[in-house]
Structure 1
Amino acid sequence: MWEQVRSRAEDRLGDPIWWNDVLQLTKTVLAAVVAWVVAASVLDLSQPFLAPWSALLVVHATVYRTFAKGAQQVAATVVAVLLATAVGETLGLTTPSIAILLVVALVLGAVPWLGAEATAIATTGLVVLTTGFEDDVLLVARLLDTAIGVVVGLGVNLLVWPPLRRRTAVEAMDRIDDRIGELLTDMAGGLGDGCQDEDVAGWIDRTRDLDGDLDRAWGMVRQAQESARMNPRRQARAMRDPRDLHELLRRMEQAVAETRSLARTLGGQSAHRETWGEDFATPWLAMLDDAGRAAREADPELLRDVRRRLSGLSEDMRATERSAEWPVYGALIINLRNIVDAMDRVAEANPLGGQRLPVRLPTLLPTRLPVGLPRRTRARG
């Protein structure tokens, strides 16, 4: 049990995506705490709650978004304070005034630039209206609170390891080519053992899961591209136009689509290996397994070897007597050839090379020794 827990913990601790999330959480908490200390202890503002609140809302996954959200947050707070003051001076603190304030604040949310801050305008205005709108000093203090939170959030996100999401995006992509390889090897093993219709359905479902993984990877690449904007780190320059990552994702999309097509072709056959004949089944299944292993291990040479062997198989089958299975042979050869052609560049790029953060936890129990060793020998071991 401990070994399983330790293995899972090491997987998580060695995952750069998880560490990015931890770093972002830490920076968010740090920004909120620093904003509170500056507003409450350094400047001694009477109601400094808006400072950590603004800092929490401002710290985002990228420096660019932090700047953009910071500007929106400042604008939203100014609008909220002015709106609450106008409503309070006109109607006072009454139930109708609260209703009018909320309606107007949410209507202002229809403005495209302030749309994401509609709730912030409403809540900030509500706080200002209910806690005091007649004191000009208090209103200025609230604006100062917000400015402190925004400035601290910007500073923390910019100066404390400004996020560059390239490693996160590439790690997500690296997991996809591993899963494509695992699926291909599982298909080769299942076909060799004699698969059933439910096996084929399971393979098709796994390609749909891969589609979801690809969508998430595209989102991470876009976030990585955004993270390079206004980022002072030297590595950010290469991520401002990540054409190489876009090409790799398109190739993996093609590989997944071809794998789904391959599975559907197999689903039309009731007895795969027996129907094909050994002259086609044995070499083709071996090539399918090798292609999956090469994709999983990022071995471009093995993928090119599979490509050459596929061409040889096609020539050999063309020289033999025609059979009723020729359309199936052609479809399977073309599908596998397209998968190999798509994945060879992915294997060449191999963005992370399977490297993970070198985190290891201590073992709780000693390694089991062979039965029959003397107790004293075990103690020394």
Structure 2
Amino acid sequence: MGEGSSRGLRERIDDRISDPIWWNDVLQLAKTVLAAVAAWVIAASVLDLPQPFLAPWAALLVVHATVYRTFSKGAQQVAATVVAVLLATLVGEAFGLSTWAITLLLVVALVLGSVPWLGAEATTIATTGLVVLTTGFDDDVMLLSRLYDTAIGVVVGLLVNVMVWPPLRRHTAAKALDAVDDGIGMLLVDIAGGLGDGCQDEDVTGWIDRTRDLDQDLDQAWALVRQAQESARMNPRRSARSMRDPRQWHELLRRLEQAVAETRSLARTLGGQSAHRETWGEAFADPWISVLADVGRAAVEADPEGLVGARGRLVALSEDMRRTERSAEWPVYGALIINLRNIIDAMDEVAAANPITGRRLRIRLPAPRA
């Protein structure tokens, strides 16, 4: 492996291990394993239950990505597990272990799983019931043991997820907002570069398509902010307080939506002009394209001062054109100036709030010795 490849690999590893989102995912995986193993040890070694497999099963079911969902979905899954154990026992006592018994069990389990209160846990009821039916159903002591197993798994899963660094999806949501912010900025820079080089119709179509991609990224960002808000509910961490009512995040998302819409409008306006610079004239084209590029770079770099400076230059350009220019292209000038002004107004608060993403962890691979 060459020195360049080794350096690139090292940078990727450093970037990953300094990413708090990656560590959150690793921690959640470790907590899930810890809950399942602890439930198994308690059921098998401490209480010496005869078939303790339902304890880690139930623990896996209740460890969710948020504390609130651990309680809400966990309650539904626990109810589904208890229903499955009872259902398997009743079917086994009535029909024994046979093909007809398994068929009846699956049909009833899938029907019960469609009950709204159970949260569509049809698969949980069917699989758990199938395991219980095929591993023994004719012993009352075994039935109670399985219910104990389930209770142990539920309690252990809840305690682990709540007490061991309860998950808070703030960084994930912030990273999604930052990605949309950067996407808008890079698109504006590309539009400015395309106009400077002389863009074609396919360039304009590509810019419009990229705004549609940004719309999809925004939908994902909204979903992640809602998940972050949910992760703050019932979360004992002090940093969860600001996420319980994330008004600032909602305002930033609305501003990003406006910026994407204005960028699409700007691109459509450009698509209506067959020869941009030649039709506009240098008095408008050069300063406007320069401001457009600077706005894009300021958005990528989260530079609110750069956006303020760009707004001042845009206002000066508008005043200068109003005093000196009598071109038939004034409707186009006005549309492009308004689009760009609205983009600046939408993005300045986003740039100012950029520290909302938090800091990356200062974790790196040890430097190799010379």
What's the TM-score once normalised by structure 1's chain length? 0.91
Q: Equivalent residue for 1:156?
A: 160
1:165 pairs, out of 166, 169, 172, with 169
Equivalent residue letter for 2:48: D
> Bigger CA drift: 206-215 or 100-109?
206-215
Distance between the aligned counterparts of 1:163 and 1:296, measured in 2?
29
Q: Equivalent residue for 2:257?
A: 253
Consecutive unaligned residues of structure 1, counting only runs of 5 or more, are: 367-381
Q: Is the 8 A contact 1:171 1:352 kept in 2?
A: no
Q: Equivalent residue for 2:44?
A: 40
Q: Is the 8 A contact 2:43 2:55 kept in 1?
A: yes
1:30-81: per-residue Cα shift (whole Å, max 9, x none)? 1111111111111122211111111111111111101112211221122112
Partner secondary structure for residue 121 of structure 2: helix
Q: Is the 8 A contact 1:63 1:158 kept in 2?
A: yes
Q: Is the 8 A contact 1:188 1:286 kept in 2?
A: yes
Distance between the aligned counterparts of 2:255 and 2:355, measured in 1?
14
Q: Check if 1:185 corresponds to 2:192.
A: no
Q: Equivalent residue for 1:336?
A: 340
Partner secondary structure for residue 120 of structure 2: helix
Q: Check if 1:209 corresponds to 2:217.
A: no
Distance between the aligned counterparts of 2:120 and 2:6, measured in 1?
46
Distance between the aligned counterparts of 1:117 and 1:20, measured in 2?
27
CA RMSD of aligned residues (A): 1.7
- Aligned pairs for 1:209-248 (under 5 A) are 209-248=213-252
> Bigger CA drift: 168-177 or 133-142?
168-177
Q: Is the 8 A contact 1:63 1:163 kept in 2?
A: yes
Partner secondary structure for residue 150 of structure 1: helix
1:104-144: per-residue Cα shift (whole Å, max 9, x none)? 11111121121331111111111111211110111111111
Equivalent residue letter for 2:77: Q
Distance between the aligned counterparts of 1:288 and 1:365, measured in 2?
46
2:294 pairs, out of 282, 290, 294, with 290
Q: Check if 1:264 corresponds to 2:276.
A: no
Consecutive unaligned residues of structure 2, counting only runs of 5 or more, are: none
Q: How many residues align?
A: 366
2:68 pairs, out of 64, 69, 73, with 64
Equivalent residue letter for 1:185: V
Alpha carbons of structure 1 residues 214 and 289: separation in structure 2 relative to 1, 3 Å: same
Q: Check if 1:19 corresponds to 2:23.
A: yes
Deviation at 1:364, TM superposition (A): 5.5
Q: Is the 8 A contact 1:300 1:344 kept in 2?
A: yes
Deviation at 1:178, TM superposition (A): 1.9
> Bigger CA drift: 113-122 or 99-108?
113-122
Q: Equivalent residue for 1:379?
A: none
Aligned identity (percent) is 78
Distance between the aligned counterparts of 2:97 and 2:137, measured in 1?
9
What's the TM-score once normalised by structure 2's chain length? 0.94
